[in-house]
Structure 1
Amino acid sequence: MNQVMRVEILNRLKKINPNPVIELNFSSPFELLISTLLSAQATDNIVNKVTAKLYKKANTPKSLLKLGVSEIIKYIKPIGLYNIKSMNIIKICHILLERYDGKVPSNQMELETLPGVGKKTANIILNVIFNIPTIAVDTHVFRVCNRTGFASGKNVNQVENKLLKTVPKIFKKNCHIWMVLHGRYICKARNPRCDVCKIQDLCNYYEKNKYLYYAFI
């Protein structure tokens, strides 16, 4: 895929959704940090259901520490890996209060030192909260980039590096969310909805499979 095609894809995604919003519900940087942590191997929908109840009870480092691991587990048990996630939440609360006055840091290295926080989570925080033009690569972004040919790579780091090199600065702020939403609702893992896709004519996957696709409809 050449750069002209990439820009056209981004322009179309922008036209479809000029002001994309992350689907995790939050009302503070800290809430987004915890919600993103919880979203690992879980859907945004189940995370939002869990945190709607949790954040009514506790939504700050101090209040979550007061709640404790055992009580946090009761709230987040519907989510996978709830034991380790609850312990990481407590550790994060301690660190934020001891080092950052209870605030979420705006530095990638500092974010990645927090328990359970990897590069993807750090990039989401930097992008959504601090408006830094980073591009987080999750399973949806990885799939869309490889399937379409937008930025192919064998691992997340390769895809992220290609995106940072090829995505023009004006698109970097929203690129992650556009691709997440496209992967979640259109370019699905098992049954991609090529029939309603607005970028199918620019997509390597569709070009390779269009004759087979039309044979079954």
Structure 2
Amino acid sequence: MRTAIFDDKKIYAILNNDENIILSSLDPKSHKAKRKKLDVDSVFYPENNESLKSLNNKELMVAVNDDVDSNKNSMLIIIDKKTLDTKREIVMEKGFTIYKTHLDDKDKIMLISHEGEVKMFNRDFKEILTEKIPLKFKSDDERLEEVKILDGKIYALVRMFDRDKDGVIGRIIEYDIESKDSKEISLKSDRDWEMTSLEVVK
């Protein structure tokens, strides 16, 4: 299983294998289940366990990338909750690989790419903002490891594969979308990391 959410008294889950993506809905009381294969090429896969979101009371949103050869553009797939049919596909521009999706309480949809590019849409998927988080990768040894969004600010964890001479192995960048202000905190360690995680709380 790739990801699952509980919404409107039902469980929705994505499962994928080498050939397709299966979307399931399950009624936890009656145990009745419905499954449907998404009508996308076999190169597309959900990026992570946050790829499935409830868009509104009638629709789900699934983010998929070409994880095979990276030749096809990333997509958002809008799905009818009741029938699990695909209603719409929103194709990203070439080079924008969806890493994170976020729905705020002001009906805005935010997408963040692996390179730190930010796109904001309204609920009709009209693009209203494009930004770039100042990740400032210092070498090919750095990558975007995790992103969290809270109160209009983006928190990005950039990880290095190996510590530098000062013991720095990562950085947290705080970026305010409205003011464009950014802050950076270096993370030091006495040993290399195999796994990292970031959580932001009020």
Do the two structures share a fold, i.e. TM-score over 0.5?
no
Q: Shorter-chain TM-score: what band?
A: under 0.3
TM-score by length of structure 2 reads 0.27
Larger RCO of the pair (alpha carbons < 8 Å, separation 6+): 1
Q: Normalising by the residue count of structure 1, what TM-score does the alignment of the two structures yield?
A: 0.26
